[in-house]
Amino acid sequence: MDATQLDRLVAQIGEELLARIPVSGGHAPNAEGLNVADMVCPGCTRRCAQTCTRKTKEIIAAGADRVSTTGKLIKVDPDIAAMIDHTVLKPEATRDEIVKLCAEARQYNFASVCVNPYWVPLAASELKGSKVLVCTVVGFPLGANPTAIKVAEATDAVHHGAQEVDMVINVGALRSGDYDAVKHDVQAVAEAVHRGGAILKVILENALLDDSQKVMACALCKLAGADFVKTSTGFAKSGATAHDIALMRAAVGPEMGVKASGGIRTLADLKTMAAAGASRIGASASVKIMQESAA
């Protein structure tokens, strides 16, 4: 008997037992799909006890005290996973890529998925019922939109399910010394985001700033009510550095979050940023990082 046949037999036996034994509320569970390639639970792209929490709980409720799977289990470090915004912001990303992103986020219990605004409703639907948050970007990637446009983007995103918003600061205004304009820009978006119960991260795009401008940007974001400051969009000439993270952490203190983003591709990169003061990591190489952490 090969693995597929064994899976089918286990599934058949398990489903017959579950159909006979009442669970909470006196109703038999809907016993569709456990480790069977053509019998997948609705909305699920995996078929294993590690990721199918609902099915595993049903089996335990029926009397099992141990659950096994023929699939390969990956040991997940929850502290690392909880730092990561699993990200796809490339303009050519497809629906299938966003669905895959969300499935991976569910599997590893990442802090959030970060997607372009168009994909927010899809991500919210795919992640419904999970602890993974939906994050999106506004004024992206240049930050040069009028404030009203950024506010409208943020309001629409939160309305459609975004729980975190990463906005790009007005880099040109900052470099011009128009600090009131920068503060007003961030504050207006922060107020809109907070009204919807979401949080705001502000992307400084550090590659375009000197250290004094980075510190000023952090101070303005803190005054304006932002929740995080973030290093980069990933679209500029360079991304996060340990120097910038340490500088930003010193500027905002312990009260705000600091997100490192751009060029973080390995577990060593993540640990370097965390040691420098980052409390969140934006990465598209998240799965690779988690696989490294399990090695």
- The reply to whether 237 belongs to the active site is no
Nearest Cα neighbor of 274 from 295, 289, 288 is 289
- The reply to whether 166 belongs to the active site is yes
Strand partners, 136: 115, 165
As a whole number of angstroms, the distance between CA 134 and CA 278 comes to 20
As a whole number of angstroms, the distance between CA 83 and CA 8 comes to 37
Residue from 150, 244, 259, 269 carrying the catalytic annotation: 259
As a whole number of angstroms, the distance between CA 269 and CA 281 comes to 10
Coil, helix or strand at residue 1: coil
Residue from 55, 183, 214, 230 carrying the catalytic annotation: 230
Cβ contact 60:34 at 8 Å: no
As a whole number of angstroms, the distance between CA 29 and CA 59 comes to 10
Residue from 85, 166, 227, 269 carrying the catalytic annotation: 166
Coil, helix or strand at residue 134: strand
- The reply to whether 259 belongs to the active site is yes
Cβ contact 118:134 at 8 Å: no
Q: Pseudo-torsion of CA 119, 120, 125, 128, nearest 10°?
A: 140
Cβ contact 262:282 at 8 Å: yes
Q: Which two structure tokens, joined as six digits, stand for 74?
A: 């990956």
> So which residues are the catalytic ones?
166, 230, 259
